[in-house]
Amino acid sequence: MTRVPDPAADATRKFAGFLRAYGVKTSAPGPSKASARAEALATVSSAPLASIVERMLTNSDNDIAEALARQTALATGVRADFAGAGKAIRIQLGRLGLPLDGVDFRDGSGLDRNDRLTANLLTALLVKAGDPARPDLRPVLTGLPVAGFTGTLTTRYTGTAADAAGVVRAKTGTLTGVNTLAGTVVDRDGHLLAFAVLTADTTDPTAAQSALDTAVTALAACGCS
């Protein structure tokens, strides 16, 4: 698929071309506002934001993540580009009172090699999302893949880690040489724990993921009373 710098303008030009092919006259494509005489031909409604966030987390969808970050930028009043998205994310996390020392956001998807996260921030965000006073943040938890069952954890938590299948919900983070996991786990005593494990300079992604799963499985087996 060919990428274009302005997808909306490209789609408009192509649509105008289809109309002209059928003898429909069109004006030069470009930004404009509908007149008072305009009649709505069709409308499209987005899925609720909570559902979009859940889908993004479950499937680790980078496109949705970047789109959400840029919408956050627009709502925050900064430019909807990579830098603006990173700035908007920091602003919103700051408003939640979350720890931002050592954190650097260069985009919304986490694909930029200069992005920096901390386990402190991730666990604090998970705890905040579980606060009964913040139901608006609940999709951060409900969208997490379930170990051994859904999303990016469907094929994980087998073998020696199978005991944690179904009791771990976690978001994966994977780049070449980087493997991370952050989420929640129910321990042996029924406590819900938040965790984040970040690794860098890994050389075997399969072995790294297995090590992460083993560590979290140990959490599930612990008693924290």
| Residue 219 near residue 161 (C-beta atoms within 8 A) | no
- Using alpha carbons, select from 196, 190, 192, 202 the residue that is nearest to residue 215: 196
Long-range Cβ contact pairs of 160-167 (< 8 A, separation 24 or more): 160/214, 160/217, 161/210, 161/213, 161/214, 161/216, 161/217, 163/217, 163/220, 163/221, 164/213, 164/216, 164/217, 164/219, 164/220, 164/221, 167/220
Cβ atoms 9, 31 nearer than 8 A: no
Percent with pLDDT over 90 in the chain: 83
As a whole number, mean pLDDT of residues 1-6 equals 80
Q: Fill in the DSSP letter of residue 141.
A: H
> Domain-by-domain residue ranges, the chain?
48-117, 144-225
Decide if pLDDT at 215 tops 80.
yes
The model's pLDDT over 67-112, given as tens digits with 9 standing for 90+, comes to 999 999 999 999 999 999 999 999 999 999 999 999 999 999 999 9
pTM of the model: 0.82
* pLDDT reported for residue 9: 86
Q: Kindly state the tokens that stand for 143.
A: 């969208």
Average pLDDT over the chain, rounded to an integer: 93
Cα–Cα distance, 151 to 171 (Å, whole number): 9
pLDDT at 31 over 80: no
**Residue given tokens 């612990």 in the structure block:** 222
